[in-house]
Amino acid sequence: MAEFNCKYGGLIGFATHVHWKGKERPEFVHNYAPWWATHTLDWLKFGKKVLVVHFQDLKQDLFVQLGHMVRLLGVAVREHRLLCVESQKDGNIKSSGLLRLEYDPYMTHMWCSISAYIKKVDAALQGCNLTSVPDDFYPG
């Protein structure tokens, strides 16, 4: 939903109801879901050093997650720099909140397709001994 909103509503906006009800939504799911899975699987397959950081982890403990990222890059961790980033985590570029649709924008076949891609990525993450996809990432 976030990618669809970004594409049709801008960086901090929302797609209009016309977009959600129009042909763009099924086409987007059909094209974007497999792209997301392939992109992620390629990182797992070809990446030299891969660190999986889920958005939920960033929200829960930004300081620790940034430290992991910096160490992976082989850069000295400077605590004052991480604290600076953490102090600015709410930043200027953000949406006004979640858009609540009065209906489920996805048809059953879309949910099935999305779930299948998530399961495929999750299996690959587990096969690499990396952090699994969070439960709340699954549709439904």
Residue 80 placed within a domain: no
| DSSP-H helix ranges across the chain | 2-9, 17-21, 24-46, 55-60, 62-72, 79-87, 108-127
Residue 105 placed within a domain: yes
Residue 107 placed within a domain: yes
Structural domain boundaries, residue 41:
2-48+91-137
Task: Encode pLDDT of 40-89 as tens digits.
Answer: 999 999 998 899 999 888 888 888 999 999 999 998 988 888 888 888 77
Q: For the chain, how many structural domains are there in total? A: 1
pLDDT value at residue 90: 72
Structure tokens at 79: 């605590």
Give pTM, 2 decimals.
0.77
